[in-house]
Structure 1
Amino acid sequence: MFEAVLDTVVGMTDNEITEALRANELAARSAAAERAALIAVAENRGIYRITHRSSAGWLRSELDCGDGTIGRDRALARLLDTHPSIADALAAGRFSTDHALQIGRIFQNPRIANLLGTIVDVLVELAEHRSYAEFRGDIDALIEQLDTDGAFADLADAVESRDARVVDLNGEVVIEASGGDPIQAAQLVAVFETFVEAEYQHDLTQRRAEHPDDPEQWPLPRTAGQRRFDALIAMVAAAAASPDGRALPEPTVAIIIDDHSTHEVLTHAGITLPSGDMIDDQPIIADPDTGEQLDATMNGLAEALLDDPEAFLERRCETSTGSKIHPMIALRALLTGHVRRVVVDSNGHVIDYGTKQRLFTGPARQAALLLASTCIYPGCRLPARMCQVDHNEPWSTGGPTDQTNAVPLCGVHNRIKHRDGLTIVHDDHGRPHTQRPDGTIILPVGERPPDIAPTNPIDTILIHLKQLPAA
């Protein structure tokens, strides 16, 4: 059977394979929603009691799946049974099963699960228009903001249980490390990637020297994995040669935090107080009808969500690499000054950082790279610090050199953008999208076109006037 399917696929064009794969994913999402419905009804009826002690045992006997699959399916079933709007969107293929399971992390957290009903519609809309990696980061940030006590306990445990080993295993190097805090992680990753980039540039130089006429037609001397290994050895050697081997070198890691979160964490620490009063440590009422309460300690976001379910969309507390961090880590950076901190406004733009100039260099380039953690082209994960900063609206047509007109693109996708006449547009929430010349948006399967923020007509007229020949 598979051979027949394979023969059919081999006969397809590239576009047909792409469309068939997208259709297959839509079918898988619909099937996942149906599977969740079957499990939810089975558990509600207690079907398993006839032959088994637990629902998990019954599912193992009927489906012969691993415990990981069974646990995932049961969690998804409980989530969709409680929040039908998630089930409807998944069945329609608006986002992947993995997106739904990320929402389930809030549902499974007993300290903040009662807030999910307030924000579920916002999360469903956000999941549709965010890549999985971005959405997972959104959920990380939301949990950090809502469950501050639990998140800080996890952080403290990671710091307390930090460990590392370098072992000679039958003549081979085995290195393991875990724990620490997000700032240390971001610094270590940044240093490592700096050494990796140096090894990559060395390979490019060597290839150009060996094949000066047409170097790009030849493979690099080492694989990416070999360069990473050699970079690690070079990093260790550089540390050993340093006068102070314990000093973690630059580059600097930036922490991006919105003004609301900045105020809240300072207030919680007693450094600044609203109107001169002490922080209100009383519980807030989550549901006036039932009297259900929520602890408001260092949780201004939880209170804000009751009035505005979209309040969390304006919150950011993360490193420039996209790793979400606990507000208390940001506070440490604010107090010690060891990490550059950048405060953004409610639209996600950097406040008063950088100067207008022709090329994105110096502070302007650094600020532009803080707008995204990776290349913004769909599916690309190259870190922003290794990208080029591109003018969304070209300089030649009047595009300004500032953070609102800056997008990080890797070299390959920057060239593709200009070759194919692509542009970057933003939706009503400021999220970037790649637009084709015919006006359609490049979207993953199942995602509906977003509402694109209208272009300022005055800016459009000014740009047009700049293109007119001089009288």
Structure 2
Amino acid sequence: MMEELAQAEAAVAACGDAATWALGEHDLVAALDAAHRLEQRLAAVKLALVRAVDSRGTAAAQSASSTTVWLRDRLRLTVPAARRLVDLAAALDAGAPGVRAALAIGDISVEQARVIGDTVNTVHTAAGAEAADKAVGVLVEWAGQFDPTLLRRLGTRILDHVAPEVADAANRAALETEARRSARDRHVTLSELPDGRLRLTGSLDAEAAGLLRAAIDPLTAPTGPDDPRTPGQRRHDALADLCRLTLRTGELPEHGAEPAQIVVTTSFDALTRQLDSGTLDTGLRLTPETVRRLACDAAILPAVLGSTGQPLDVGRQRRLITGPLRRALVLRDRGCAFPGCDRPPRWCDAHHIQHWAAGGNTSLTNAVLLCAHHHRHIHHGDWTVRLGDDGHPEFVPPAWLDPDQLPRRNHYHRRP
């Protein structure tokens, strides 16, 4: 073996010095295929040697704690890479000689061999040695068409092909095992950061994951070709939209005998003069701009304090755009009124065109429906909103976007 490996090494070294740029396209692709096939065949030899080292106890004889640790030091591998070598060598030696043979002639890759080995072991446990042998043949054939990821996915249904009489029971047992693991591992963690933000981490079971995706996926699409948000930011905003909609339904369980609400505390002077900041009832602080935006809508109640801290007003109903007034607003705007937005009314806040803090009244002529994204945009951006001569909202773009500042309207919700 040593002589043959030395000759192989010399041949590979000669190939390494070859001028690949001189190869024609056909020869270039053929050489790539040959190099890949040789790499897998060498991997089969390497795995056989690893198995021999492991079974002989070479690592212990050389004072290493395990074959994995010995390989890490000997071949300068990471521990996970060394462990994968040991595990795959043992799997191919113990229960999958057909897989080892396919790897030895270069018909499959090392990653495909790992997938096939795992799958065959599962089939052997569920249906016995005969079914496992059949599975090897089917999976090796599939390996000629599919990469390791697809091969693993197809392997989950291999029993349907090689042992249909036990497939249903095995699939049911696998589903029950997965359901138990999913139920055991489900959790959501909210970690408060020093600046008031929350870090959200967790693991959802399949049902909750489906519910969350069904709820937020329609909300994560870009609002237009110029939407500057990253996918992660869009998912963040979609989750916030979902919370707003839930709070707006009024169907949450009561908390302290009152409907679930968010309370923002700020001083009256701060709100009217656009100074200072606000504080949520959880103790987290908000910027003045966020406080003024939240003060627009009925779903979130502002607790306005006087100079001595006494509550002047908590969620004044005469200020909030609710009931018949909101229904009239929905009939007029039919959704977010910002040009090009397709968000429906249930996802929209009622925005005071002249801010309530600046003396704006609560009326149909001083209100417009805006989704959360465009509500923030109006509060923070350079666009202005007003009602046109026909009583419908129109938006004036900033001069840097349109030097003529021609008013724009949303035609998406207009009925034919």
TM-score bracket relative to the smaller structure: 0.3 to 0.5
Larger Rg: 2
Question: What is the TM-score with the length of structure 1 in the denominator?
Answer: 0.39
